C-alpha cells in the first residue's frame, strides 16, 4: 500500500511531466515560441470567443435593436457587422495575451489587403455600399423601388445585396453597389401611400361622363385603394383611328 508521501511524489512527478510537455517548444512563429500549451490556449480561447460573439449578437439583435424598432433586415446586418468586429477584437486580444509576435500577422494582413484591392474589389464595394444604405436609409424594407430595369418591393437588405420581390413573385437579388452608383426611384421614400396611373382605353362610341363615373366606383370597391385621397379619372388623349 502506497504511503501519502509516495502518492504526493507521483502527483508532483506527473505535474512536472505535463508541464514539460505543454511548455516544450514545437516551432517558432516570428520571434515567438509555439508550444502545446499555446495551441490549447488558442483552441480554448477561440471556442469561448465564438460562444461570446453569438451571445453578443443575440443580445444586440433580439433585444436592444428589437426594442429600438429597427427593421429585421437592418437588425440582421448590424448584428453580423458587430459579430465580426467582436471576433476581430477578441482575436487580437487572444493573440497578444498568448505572447505571439504580431509582425508576421501584419505581413499576412497586408497581403490580404492587396488581395482585397485586386480580387475582392466588388465584394468590398458592396459591403461599403451596404453600410452606407444602413446609415443613410435611401431605401428600406417595404419600399417600392425601381433600380435599372428592376421594379418591386424591398423584402430584405443585407450587407452585400438587397432582395427585391417583383409583381410576378420573383425575388431578384441586386448588389448594393447599384443603389449607390445608379439612379434609384423610391416610390415610398417619404410616404407609404403611392399613386398608380392605370391607363384605360375606351371606344369613341362610349359616353365619357359614364366612364368618369364607372371607373371611380370600381376603384373604391377595391380594398387596396385608399378612401382618401379619392381616385380620379382624367382624359389624357385621343387616338385617331385609321
Q: Given a cut of 90, is residue 8 above it in pLDDT?
A: no
- Taking each continuous run of H as one helix and of E as one strand, the counts in the chain are 8, 7
3-state DSSP assignment of residue 17: helix
The kind and range of the H/E element at 50 are helix 36-59
d(C-alpha 147, C-alpha 125), whole Å? 17
Within 13 Å of residue 38, how many CA atoms lie on the same side as its CB?
A: 18
160 band by pLDDT with thresholds 50, 70 and 90: confident
The pLDDT of residue 172 is 92
Angle between helices 72-97 and 121-136 (to 10 degrees): 120
d(C-alpha 180, C-alpha 124), whole Å? 13
Phi, psi of 154 (to 5 degrees): -75, 120
Cα-Cα-Cα-Cα dihedral sign, residues 46, 119, 102, 56 = negative
Q: Which of 125, 105, 107 shows the shortest CA–CA distance to 116?
A: 125
Q: Which of 184, 175, 75 shows the shortest CA–CA distance to 125?
A: 175
The pLDDT of residue 96 is 77
Let me know if domain 136-186 sits in CATH 2.30.30.60.
Answer: yes
The percent helix, strand, coil of the chain (3-state, each to 5) is 55, 15, 35
Query: Which one-letter DSSP state was computed for residue 43?
Result: H
* Domain range summary for the chain, segments of one domain joined by +: 4-119, 136-186
Contact 205, 191 (CB under 8 A): no
Query: Which one-letter DSSP state was computed for residue 224?
Result: T
Of the two residues 125 and 139, the one the predictor is more confident about is: 139
The pLDDT of residue 164 is 93
Of the chain, the percentage scoring pLDDT greater than 70 comes to 71
Q: Which of 242, 231, 236, 241 shows the shortest CA–CA distance to 208?
A: 236
> What does the pLDDT look like over 31-87, one tens digit per residue?
666 777 778 888 888 889 889 988 988 888 888 877 777 666 667 767 877 888 888
Q: Given a cut of 60, is residue 118 above it in pLDDT?
A: no
Give me the residues paired with residue 171 across strands.
165
The kind and range of the H/E element at 49 are helix 36-59
Q: Which of 26-30, 116-120, 159-163 has the highest mean pLDDT?
A: 159-163
Q: Give the mean model confidence (pLDDT) for residues 5-15.
A: 61
Amino acid at each position: 500500500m502506497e504511503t501519502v508521501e509516495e502518492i504526493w511524489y507521483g502527483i508532483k512527478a506527473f505535474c512536472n511531466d505535463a508541464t514539460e510537455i505543454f511548455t516544450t517548444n514545437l516551432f517558432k512563429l516570428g520571434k515567438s515560441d509555439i508550444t502545446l500549451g499555446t495551441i490549447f490556449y488558442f483552441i480554448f480561447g477561440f471556442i469561448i470567443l465564438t460562444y461570446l460573439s453569438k451571445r453578443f449578437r443575440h443580445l444586440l439583435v433580439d433585444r436592444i435593436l428589437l426594442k429600438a424598432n429597427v427593421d429585421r433586415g437592418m437588425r440582421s446586418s448590424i448584428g453580423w457587422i458587430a459579430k465580426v468586429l467582436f471576433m476581430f477584437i477578441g482575436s487580437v486580444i487572444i493573440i497578444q495575451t498568448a505572447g505571439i509576435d504580431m509582425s508576421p500577422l501584419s505581413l499576412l494582413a497586408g497581403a490580404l489587403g492587396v488581395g482585397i484591392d485586386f480580387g475582392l474589389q466588388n465584394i468590398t464595394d458592396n459591403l461599403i455600399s451596404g453600410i452606407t444604405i444602413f446609415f443613410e436609409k435611401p431605401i428600406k424594407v417595404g419600399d417600392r423601388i425601381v433600380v435599372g430595369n428592376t421594379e418591386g418591393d424591398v423584402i430584405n437588405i443585407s450587407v452585400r445585396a438587397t432582395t427585391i420581390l417583383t409583381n410576378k413573385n420573383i425575388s431578384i437579388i441586386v448588389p448594393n453597389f447599384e443603389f449607390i452608383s445608379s439612379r434609384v426611384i423610391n416610390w415610398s421614400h417619404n410616404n407609404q401611400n403611392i399613386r398608380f396611373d392605370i391607363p384605360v382605353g375606351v371606344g369613341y362610341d362610349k359616353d365619357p361622363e359614364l366612364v368618369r363615373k364607372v371607373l371611380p366606383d370600381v376603384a373604391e370597391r377595391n380594398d387596396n385603394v385608399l378612401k382618401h385621397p379619392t381616385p380620379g379619372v382624367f382624359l389624357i388623349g385621343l387616338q385617331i383611328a385609321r
